[in-house]
Chain A
């Protein structure tokens, strides 16, 4: 290309700082990312295949709502009371339904509970209430347990959903991090806890409860461990 009076522009552009080329190690890291993205794509494609079309689901909801209003609530309330007064078997059935209502997704921390720093909550409170369907934080937990010592207990506590949780339901600092770690569309549950005393976030990422891994990161998104 010919040089002319505007050639200082070329020099300016060539003088800009540029990142060094990617090493083989870094290339391998990105290949793993592509593998993860491919798995996520396959899983979401499968989900799409089985998903109830929104319009049909909305139609069914409207019909049920209309039936509910036309028949009056008293019948429904009476029926609920009868279930509560019946045998212990039917009570346990009803509690199972409560979990099933959220597709097995772990329920959110109680709103009044502090986000961080309040010590372990054990088995109560955090997972106790099934919450409302409209709650946007389904699948987001705060066990405050230590993943280096209480892993089995945590695995029992965290309920792994059948579909990924919404990115926006995660705490702000962990939303961007989910993208960075390549788990933005495969996180089935999230938990705030500890690792060797350090505060961490834990993404439960995978396709279902029999196939997932736990990715532990610090609040600045440094990867600590994959379990």
Chain B
């Protein structure tokens, strides 16, 4: 049977039956979608590509253990999201060090750029620290600007649940980011 006729889940079963080409085909077929996720979750293309590369390596390492509890695309999303967060955290540590030690001191109050970078880091950090069940819907709908329906398909949960989790996530973020609330 041609791989093109198989669903993602069937390709995974084919891979687990001893055909690595099935996973290769699956990853290539989903690549635009996976690339879009990493690009939308990452602040720049270099970090996005590092994350995707790391995620693909993880997929090859863990695909034998995929147990079909979720859709394949959901499983892949979680791997990419984790890779993006890991790489972003490493970059954040490095950037914070650079900004606080050098740029802020040099530029002082004129440093809109440094302020903006720090603000962006604070916001991303707050999102990444949300409980997992809220983080994914918030990341997809608000950060990556997927529609509720698309997020529902990706995460394998009903659209109504996505909406309610987004609302709860938004409320939690509003508490955490209250300093950034616009002055009235």
Judge whether B124 is part of the interface by a CB distance below 8 angstroms.
yes
A10 touches B142 (CB 8 A): yes
A27 touches B180 (CB 8 A): no
Tier of interface size on chain B: 35 or more
Instruction: Select B35's contact among A12, A27, A40, beta carbons within 8 Å.
Output: A27
Judge whether B20 is part of the interface by a CB distance below 8 angstroms.
yes
A30-49: contact bitstring with B at CB < 8 Å (1 yes, 0 no)? 11011101101110010000
**Closest chain A residue to B63 by CB distance?**
A41
Name the A residues within 8 Å of B32 (CB-CB).
22, 27
B177 touches A9 (CB 8 A): yes
B120 touches A16 (CB 8 A): yes
- In the complex the two chains form, what is the Cα distance from A33 to B28 in whole Å? 10
B12-36: contact bitstring with A at CB < 8 Å (1 yes, 0 no)? 0000000011011001100110011
Q: How many residue pairs, one in A and one in B, have C-beta atoms under 8 Å apart?
A: 107
- In the complex the two chains form, what is the Cα distance from A33 to B47 in whole Å? 17
A41 touches B20 (CB 8 A): yes
A33 touches B56 (CB 8 A): yes
Name the B residues within 8 Å of A179 (CB-CB).
53-54, 57
A6 touches B35 (CB 8 A): no
- In the complex the two chains form, what is the Cα distance from A136 to B49 in whole Å? 31
**Those of A172-209 within 8 Å (CB) of chain B:** 179-180, 182, 184
B142 touches A38 (CB 8 A): no
The segment from B69-77, B104-112, B167-175 that touches chain A is B167-175
A19 touches B44 (CB 8 A): yes
> A8 → chain B, closest Cβ, in Å?
6
Instruction: Select B166's contact among A1, A8, A33, beta carbons within 8 Å.
Output: A1
Name the B residues within 8 Å of A118 (CB-CB).
none
Name the A residues within 8 Å of B28 (CB-CB).
31, 34
> A175 → chain B, closest Cβ, in Å?
14
> A49 → chain B, closest Cβ, in Å?
11
Given A30-B31, A34-B28: A10 and B56 interface contact (C-beta under 8 Å): no
A8 touches B60 (CB 8 A): no
Judge whether A18 is part of the interface by a CB distance below 8 angstroms.
yes
> B171 → chain A, closest Cβ, in Å?
6
B147-164: contact bitstring with A at CB < 8 Å (1 yes, 0 no)? 010000000000000010
Judge whether B78 is part of the interface by a CB distance below 8 angstroms.
no
Tier of interface size on chain A: 20 to 34
Name the A residues within 8 Å of B142 (CB-CB).
9-10, 13-14
Name the A residues within 8 Å of B124 (CB-CB).
16
> B45 → chain A, closest Cβ, in Å?
4
**Closest chain B residue to A12 by CB distance?**
B123
Given A8-B182, A9-B170: A22 and B24 interface contact (C-beta under 8 Å): no
Name the B residues within 8 Å of A35 (CB-CB).
24
**Closest chain A residue to B26 by CB distance?**
A34
Judge whether A17 is part of the interface by a CB distance below 8 angstroms.
yes
Instruction: Select B127's contact among A5, A6, A13, A19, beta carbons within 8 Å.
Output: A13
A26 touches B166 (CB 8 A): no
A16 touches B39 (CB 8 A): no
- In the complex the two chains form, what is the Cα distance from A40 to B54 in whole Å? 15
Judge whether A152 is part of the interface by a CB distance below 8 angstroms.
no
- In the complex the two chains form, what is the Cα distance from A31 to B31 in whole Å? 8
A sample of 13 inter-chain contacts (CB < 8 A) reads A1-B166, A8-B174, A13-B138, A16-B43, A17-B44, A19-B43, A21-B39, A22-B45, A26-B35, A26-B49, A34-B24, A37-B57, A41-B60
